[in-house]
A and B are shown apart, each in its own frame.
Chain A
């Protein structure tokens, strides 16, 4: 049986850990709420942009804008959205595992694709394994604003436009609920599936100055907003995942503490019993 002081130390340190995980759980819960609100506030903008882009693209019959045209694919880019810090359960590992599997299935050599990483964990993972990470961004705030993301979104769109790659996929965790986040793959470029988000869209717009000129402005904005939307979704998932992970950790700590307390009490009782036996034994020997 372990000695009393050891058990007491372990109880103490477990209690401290659980206080920490509990605090982190609460912090993540409030961050998750904010992130969820952000993601919700973003929906009307996204839907509008999608409506207009769809209406214009379907209205101008000869949609030859480079961002709408599928070219022969020589190089594919994957934008992976992870987190900067760990302690978020399977948030990063599930997305990295899935992406690695997809890469192995789709491509024969590492020359066929490049990776754009958001988040320190994702970046380190791919850099360490010798993947071609051409762009990365770390240290995004917990509630990213549009301007925080604009830079990487613009670069991603720009590199597609100048032919660095011919396809762009996005990998992120879609927020389903607090306990469930889904790894999602989304094709960003070229823009192919343009369905209007709401009913009753007018296809007969008049364009000022011209349809092509508007697509020129609109399509990069559309692609950027797709990326921003995914990032907001990913952030909400991250906080939810961290919250759940911390809750599990707190629960585990509680269980451990109660098991250790039981052991501690038993050990103490055994020590007392032993002492009494010794005293009684000693007294009996004197008589």
Chain B
């Protein structure tokens, strides 16, 4: 099976760089699976998991918080404000962030705070589910 180079880059540095057989990502218009040799494409991502299927059948999951995916025939780049490989996720911190976000949602102050808390909650839930999906 043909493989494609994938790198996931965040402002704090590269997170992932490897050859994979298939990338599954959640874009704003739905989930997509990309194989090697895909035509050039760009799509924004939602907060969610990116699944990287290796040639030998194993897979890795990376939690990303938005950003976008850029596909070229020989290379796939994912640019996200933050991204974590499942094994590196700090579960305690994610749970803490979730509790904090939930608390803030209940206070309901003004719109902006509300939106931010909601996003934070989504990110935390995403990190937790990615971490657990790995185990």
Q: Determine the chain A residues whose CB is within 8 A of the CB of B56 once the complex forms.
A: none
Q: With contacts defined as CB atoms under 8 Å apart, how many contacts are there between chain A and chain B in the complex?
A: 75
Q: Is the CB of A146 within 8 A of B32?
A: no
Is A44's beta carbon under 8 Å from chain B? Answer: yes
When the two chains form the complex, which single residue of B40, B43, B68, B81 contacts A146, counting CB atoms closer than 8 Å?
A: B81
Residue of A nearest to B28 (CB): A209
Q: Known: A48-B77, A52-B70, A208-B27. Contact between A146 and B12, CB under 8 A?
A: yes
When the two chains form the complex, which single residue of A42, A145, A208, A225 contacts B43, counting CB atoms closer than 8 Å?
A: A208
Residue-wise, chain B 1-12 has the 8 Å CB interface mask toward A (1 for contact) of 000000001111
Q: Is the CB of A42 within 8 A of B13?
A: yes
Q: Interface SS of chain A: helix, strand, loop or mixed?
A: helix
- The A-contacting residues of B in range 23-52, CB under 8 angstroms, are 27-29, 32, 39-44
Q: Cα distance A155–B70 when bound, in Å?
A: 27
Q: Known: A208-B32, A214-B68, A217-B68. Contact between A44 and B14, CB under 8 A?
A: yes
- The A-contacting residues of B in range 60-92, CB under 8 angstroms, are 67-68, 70, 72, 77, 79, 81-82
Residue of A nearest to B65 (CB): A147
Q: Determine the chain B residues whose CB is within 8 A of the CB of A45 once the complex forms.
A: 9-11, 13, 79
Q: Determine the chain B residues whose CB is within 8 A of the CB of A214 once the complex forms.
A: 42-44, 68
Q: Determine the chain A residues whose CB is within 8 A of the CB of B79 once the complex forms.
A: 45, 48-49, 52
Q: Determine the chain A residues whose CB is within 8 A of the CB of B77 once the complex forms.
A: 48
Q: Is the CB of B42 within 8 A of A52?
A: yes
Closest Cβ of chain A to B30, distance in Å, is 9
Q: Is the CB of A202 within 8 A of B12?
A: no
Q: Is the CB of A207 within 8 A of B42?
A: yes
Residue of A nearest to B7 (CB): A44
Q: Determine the chain B residues whose CB is within 8 A of the CB of A51 once the complex forms.
A: 70
Q: Known: A48-B9, A208-B29, A217-B68. Contact between A41 and B14, CB under 8 A?
A: yes
Is A93's beta carbon under 8 Å from chain B? Answer: no
Q: Determine the chain A residues whose CB is within 8 A of the CB of B43 once the complex forms.
A: 207-209, 214
When the two chains form the complex, which single residue of B13, B32, B41 contacts A207, counting CB atoms closer than 8 Å?
A: B41
Residue-wise, chain A 195-212 has the 8 Å CB interface mask toward B (1 for contact) of 000000010111111000
Closest Cβ of chain A to B76, distance in Å, is 11
Q: Give residues in A with beta carbon < 8 Å to B.
A: 38, 41-42, 44-45, 48-49, 51-52, 55-56, 145-147, 150, 202, 204-209, 213-214, 217-218, 221, 225, 228
Q: Give residues in B with beta carbon < 8 Å to A.
A: 9-14, 27-29, 32, 39-44, 67-68, 70, 72, 77, 79, 81-82
Known pairs A38-B12, A205-B70, A208-B27 / 6 extra A-B pairs, C-beta < 8 Å: A44-B14, A45-B10, A45-B79, A205-B42, A217-B44, A228-B11
